[in-house]
Amino acid sequence: MLQKVVNNAAEAIHDIEDGAVIMLGGFGLCGIPENCISALVQKGTKNLTCISNNAGVDDFGIGLMLKTKQVKKMISSYVGENAEFERQLLSGELEVELIPQGTLATRCLATGYGMPAIFTPAGVGTEVAIGKETRDFNGQTYLLEHAFNSDFAIVKAWKGDTHGNLIFRATSRNFNPLMAMAGKITIAEVEELVPAGELDPDCIHTPGIYVNRIFKGTNYEKRIEQVTTSKRD
C-alpha cells in the first residue's frame, strides 16, 4: 500500500508549480480546503488556473489568492460574493470562464470517468455556446463541452483514513467528490484522520484509489458568507 499520509498542507502542495491547473472543492465557503489555500498563499505559487464553483470572498478562500494576484484564470459558475474578483474581471486583470453550475459539475465528472467530453443543453443559444460545437439529439440541440485537464485536485473532507478513503458532510458533497476523481494528483485535507479500517465502508463517498495525499488539517474557521437570523417570539 502506498504511503499517502503527509504531515501538513505545505508538504501536500510542495510540487504545485507556477502555471498549474488546479481544482478546489467546496460550495461557497462550505467544505473548502482552507489549509491548502493558505499554504499556496505562503508558497507564492502564481499564474494558476483555478477551477472552483466560486472564488470565495475577499479575505477568505480563493479570495486570498486573488488578493495576492496568484490566479491567472478562474473557471467557475458564481462570483457574487467577491468584490476583488469583480474588480479584476472588469479591469481585465483576470481571465474568467463563467459556465453553468451543472456543466461545471458534469465536466468534473467526465474528467474523473475518463470521458473526453459531454453534450449538454445548458448554454445553447447564449454566449456560452460561442465557438463551440452543437449537435441535435431527438430534436433537441446540445452543446459540446470538454472535460477538464487538471494537474491537481484539492479537496476537504470531514473524515478520512490513512488509505485515502473520504467521507464528506452535507453541502461539501456538491463538488468535492467530483473533483477528487478528476485530478492527476488529488490532495485531501480532513478534519479527522483515522487508521485504515475504522470508517464504515458503506459511508465512504470517495474511495482511496483516487487520493494521492492526505493530511489532518487544523484551525478551520468554517465561515458563513451571509449570516441570516430571525427573532424569536
In this prediction, residue 201 carries a pLDDT of 95
- Quote the Cα angle for 168-174-180, to 5°: 65
Residue 221, domain member (yes or no)? no
Residue 137, domain member (yes or no)? no
Domain count across the chain: 1
Confidence of residue 1 (pLDDT cuts 50, 70, 90): low
Contact present, 23 and 179 (Cβ < 8 Å): yes
Q: What residues contact residue 105 under an 8 Å CB cut-off, 6+ apart? A: 174, 175, 178
> pLDDT tens across 58-113, in order?
889 999 999 999 999 999 998 777 888 888 988 999 999 999 999 999 999 999 99
Residue 58, domain member (yes or no)? yes
In this prediction, residue 56 carries a pLDDT of 85
In this prediction, residue 233 carries a pLDDT of 67
Q: In terms of residue numbers, what domain contains 210?
A: 9-115+147-216
> pLDDT tens across 167-226, in order?
999 989 999 999 999 999 999 999 999 999 999 999 999 999 999 999 999 988 877 777
Count of residues in the chain: 233
Contact present, 49 and 194 (Cβ < 8 Å): no
| Rg of the chain (C-alpha set) | 18
> pLDDT tens across 123-174, in order?
999 999 999 999 999 999 999 999 999 999 999 999 999 999 999 999 899 9
Written as nine digits, the cell of 175 is 463538488
Residue 227, domain member (yes or no)? no
> pLDDT tens across 32-65, in order?
999 999 999 999 999 999 999 988 888 899 999 9
| CATH code of the domain in which 104 resides | 3.40.1080.10
